Amino acid sequence: MFTLSLKALLTLAPFITFSSGAILEYRKNHGSGGSTSGSNGTCTSIPQFLSCENTTEITDTCCTPTPGGLVIQTQFWDTYTGMEKSGQLLPKNNWTIHGLWPDNCDGSFESYCDFERQFDERPSPSTVNGQTVPRYSGPKVDTFITAAGRDDLLAFMKKYWVSQGSSDASFWAHEYSKHGTCFSTFDTKCYSSDTQHEDLIDFFETVTKAWLKYPTYEWLAAADIVPSNSTTYKLSDMQDALKSKTGALPYLGCHNKVLSEVWYYSHSLGPVQNLDFHAVDTTTKTTCPESGIHYYERSSASEA
């Protein structure tokens, strides 16, 4: 599985900044040691080009994500989970992880790319390329993480990768099955060991570390954009606050003028697992209005 030391994370890319609370949680759960095992063992050298910017055909898909070379780190701003009674709460002063997606370079995307690694109980879409995506009814993916001895990773995911209206494990399974299996650098052929579910755990860890690169709450707060039940905000102010940190325009998603999502786009130098992302502008048009955007507070009962 893929594990980086905290020091390595801090030096991987020019735009890495971390939420203070999340980084403390990272230290608590992961420590500051090096990797615990190898990852993507077939990629022995880093390409000299970014994904989606190659001028010749990519032959080693374990070293460069292809065709899904447009890497998108996605986050939610939910104000409740609907699962509070079961202890499923949102992390205070943090946006939550949605996922890590491999869009094609033209902005299109594939889904459920490997039915043998399909762990989604309710696939959406239910068909891809004319084939029905089989429903999964086996053990939850969190049991795979526990079996691998990665309770540290599981604890971090439970805190920062939180679902709304369903169990966290079901959400994680959906994200891996729909998107993770479409990243070529997480193909099973890219791993030199026969460890069961190594690619899945590697994907989950990469997703959490990619999220750490984009502390949306702190970036917006630095521009005096904070959750409020009375104040509304301009789209341009939000875009400027985030672009000033990454150098590129992210996608901001709203529903009925309520801010709910942000997506950060990038090209990858080498395997996605390396987290060497180079920001590019969004290919998706915002669904937020120019002004009057609500960025609502959460209730204390929904946060931890």
Is 190 exposed, middle or buried, given 0-12, 13-18 or 19+ CB atoms closer than 10 A? buried
Contacts of 22 (CB under 8 A, 6+ apart): 91, 94, 160, 212, 215
Residue type, 68: G
CA-angle at 210, arms to 207 and 213, nearest 5°: 155
Partnered with residue 277 across adjacent β-strands are: 268
* Contact between residue 95 and residue 76 where contact means Cβ atoms under 8 Å apart: yes
Tell me which DSSP letter residue 33 carries.
Answer: -
Q: What is the dihedral of CA 52, 58, 64, 69, to 10 degrees?
A: 30
Considering only CA atoms, which of 123, 115, 164, 161 is closest in space to residue 142? 161
Question: Could you list the active site residues?
Answer: 98, 175, 179
What gap in Å lies between CA 223 and CA 226, rounded to an integer?
8
244, two tokens = 């000033």
